[in-house]
């Protein structure tokens, strides 16, 4: 059976309409996403491994802004300095040729067998030291390529039996590593921000610091918390049964959303890293609404990969549709805000939320006089409880915007 012709990223393949991705949309992809050869725990690779230069050129044609990478996505483990320098030179050539950027970099501390028991949190001090060395070198590479965000995903920072490690030691060791690397970055004169990525499990039975909330709490125990934020991923929060937009909302509100991993996930499954908005379109809509309403200016980064069923053409379809779906949802957000009935319900809610009571509110800052007035006030709780909120209609109207009938 011959391969389908790979007309890969020729514009004719995709309708040239309102949802054409452009570099100014700031869509980025990990090299490992479109470069995923389709291997899984039960099957061999189904696609050729593509060079990073080809990935850069093809994504540029699709309208992407940039690519992100783990050290080993570009530089094979154990490469000599000369081999490393040649690879970096060729890669930089492709970036210069296409104008593609590298906004984020990260370290692969999860593939090599030496990290099988963890990296920063390993019970083996030599492994912890190796993880620091590998990360320092990877940070240098990321900065050399222009990265301003450095992500830490602790894929192996976990365990299968609690008999092996006191959880307090794991947190202490992770903090030691991040503090060390914050100092390394500052000492090197790098203007880097670190973004911590949570995941509850897989590949380890349990992973420490399992959700974005845990990471936010952890950040404030660091020596340089101002340098460190979070990189929430859709699938990872959903694996914990959480609403992803709430984790992102808390991070934005704390000024700690430094990066984001967009993808799709079915509830109750392993980490599927599906195409963005291919599942849970409503959740994806509210995420895009939050990012756009808050005018968040970070990269719209996809950490996902094509179905194993796909050939190379399917890989580029996956990439193009990831960006296209984001733009379609961004248009739905505009329709939501412009819808007169939705506006009317939200205006009523806004009025209800901003009335004063006993001369106090709607924002409550303590002072003696207000507290006394509030304590003395008599509430008509029966009347207050009798007025509904019209959320059934609000949600139906929202759903109809998403279904394209409004
Ligand atoms: C997995 O979700 C992790 C790795 O792919 C990478 O370290 C990080 C960067 O997006 N996400
Ligand atoms: Mn994932
Ligand atoms: Mn990720």
What's the pLDDT at 15?
A: 74
What's the pLDDT at 3?
A: 52
Q: Is the CB of 280 within 6 Å of ligand 1?
A: no
Q: Atom 7 of ligand 1 has which residue's CA nearest to it?
A: 153
Q: Is the CB of 263 within 6 Å of ligand 1?
A: no
Q: CB within 8 A of 264, min separation 6: which ones?
A: 234, 235, 272, 274, 275, 276, 277, 278, 279, 280, 284, 304
How many whole angstroms from its chain centre is CA 163?
32
C-alpha 282 – ligand 2 centre gap (Å): 20
The question of whether 273 is a catalytic residue gets the answer: no
Instruction: Give the separation between CA 273 and CA 33, rounded to whole angstroms.
Output: 9
Per-residue pLDDT at 275 exceeds 70: yes
For residues 164 and 12, which has the higher predicted lDDT (pLDDT)? 164
Instruction: Give the separation between CA 46 and CA 40, rounded to whole angstroms.
Output: 10
Helix (H) or strand (E) holding 60: helix 52-62
Residues whose Cβ atom is located within 5 A of ion ligand 2: 235, 271, 273
What's the pLDDT at 200?
A: 98
Closest CA relative to residue 107, chosen from 69, 81, 148 = 69
Instruction: Give the separation between CA 399 and CA 332, rounded to whole angstroms.
Output: 10
What's the Cα-to-Cα distance from 190 to each of 108, 133, 148, 366, 402, rounded to whole Å? 20, 17, 9, 42, 43
What's the pLDDT at 11?
A: 59
| Residue 14: pLDDT band with limits 50, 70, 90 | confident
Mean pLDDT, residues 218-245: 98
What's the pLDDT at 284?
A: 98
What's the pLDDT at 17?
A: 78
| Residue 4: pLDDT band with limits 50, 70, 90 | low
Question: φ, ψ for residue 111 (rounded to 5)?
Answer: -90, -45
C-alpha 229 – ligand 3 centre gap (Å): 14
| Residue 10: pLDDT band with limits 50, 70, 90 | low
Instruction: Give the separation between CA 323 and CA 63, rounded to whole angstroms.
Output: 9
Ligand 1 atom at minimal distance to the Cα of residue 273? 2
Instruction: Give the separation between CA 399 and CA 396, rounded to whole angstroms.
Output: 5
Instruction: Give the separation between CA 122 and CA 115, rounded to whole angstroms.
Output: 8
The question of whether 293 is a catalytic residue gets the answer: no
Q: Is the CB of 157 within 6 Å of ligand 1?
A: no
Q: Is the CB of 71 within 6 Å of ligand 1?
A: no
Ligand 1 atom at minimal distance to the Cα of residue 152? 7
Pairing of strands 193-197, 228-230: parallel
Q: How many CA atoms does the CB half-sphere of 93 hold within 13 Å?
A: 8
Percent of the chain clearing pLDDT 90 (strictly above) = 94
- What are 291-308's pLDDT values in tens digits? 999 999 999 999 999 999
Ligand 1 atom at minimal distance to the Cα of residue 233? 2
Mean pLDDT, residues 152-165: 98
Whole-model pTM: value is 0.96
CA angle 380, 386, 391 (to 5 degrees): 130
What's the pLDDT at 164?
A: 98
């Amino acid at each position: 059976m011959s391969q389908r012709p790979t007309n890969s990223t020729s514009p004719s393949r995709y309708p040239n309409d309102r949802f054409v991705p452009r570099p100014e949309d700031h869509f980025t992809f990990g090299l490992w996403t479109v470069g995923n050869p389709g291997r899984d725990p039960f099957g061999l690779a189904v696609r050729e491994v593509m060079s990073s230069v080809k990935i850069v050129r093809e994504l540029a044609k699709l309208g992407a802004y940039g690519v992100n990478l783990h050290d080993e996505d570009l530089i094979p483990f154990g490469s000599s300095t000369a081999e490393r320098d040649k690879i970096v030179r060729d890669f930089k050539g492709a970036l210069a040729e296409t104008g593609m950027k590298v906004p984020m970099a990260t370290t692969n501390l999860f593939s090599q067998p030496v990290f099988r028991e963890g990296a920063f949190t390993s019970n083996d001090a030599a492994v912890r030291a190796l993880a620091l060395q590998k990360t320092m070198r990877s940070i240098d590479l990321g900065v050399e390529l222009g990265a301003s965000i450095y992500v830490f995903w602790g894929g192996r920072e976990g365990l299968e039996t609690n008999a092996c490690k006191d959880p307090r030691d794991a947190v202490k060791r992770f903090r030691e590593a991040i503090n060390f690397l914050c100092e390394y970055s500052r000492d090197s004169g790098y203007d880097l921000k670190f973004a911590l990525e949570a995941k509850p499990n897989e590949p380890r039975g349990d992973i420490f610091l399992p959700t974005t909330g845990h990471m936010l709490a952890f950040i404030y125990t660091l020596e340089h918390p101002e340098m460190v934020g979070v990189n929430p991923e859709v699938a990872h929060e959903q694996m914990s049964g959480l609403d992803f937009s709430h984790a992102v909302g808390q991070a934005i509100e704390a000024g700690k959303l430094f990066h984001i991993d967009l993808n799709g996930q079915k509830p109750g499954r392993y980490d599927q890293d599906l195409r963005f908005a291919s599942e849970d379109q409503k959740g994806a809509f509210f995420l895009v609404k939050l990012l756009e309403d808050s005018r968040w200016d970070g990269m719209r980064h996809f950490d996902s990969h094509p179905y194993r069923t796909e050939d190379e053409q399917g890989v580029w379809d996956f990439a193009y549709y990831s960006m296209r779906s984001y733009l379609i949802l961004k248009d739905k957000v505009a329709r939501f805000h412009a819808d007169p009935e939705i506006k009317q319900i939200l205006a009523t809610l806004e009025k209800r939320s901003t009335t004063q009571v006993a001369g106090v509110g709607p924002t409550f800052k303590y002072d003696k006089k207000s507290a006394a007035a509030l304590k003395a006030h008599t509430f008509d709780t029966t009347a207050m409880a009798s007025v509904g909120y019209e959320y059934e209609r609000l949600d139906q109207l929202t759903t109809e915007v998403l279904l394209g009938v409004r």
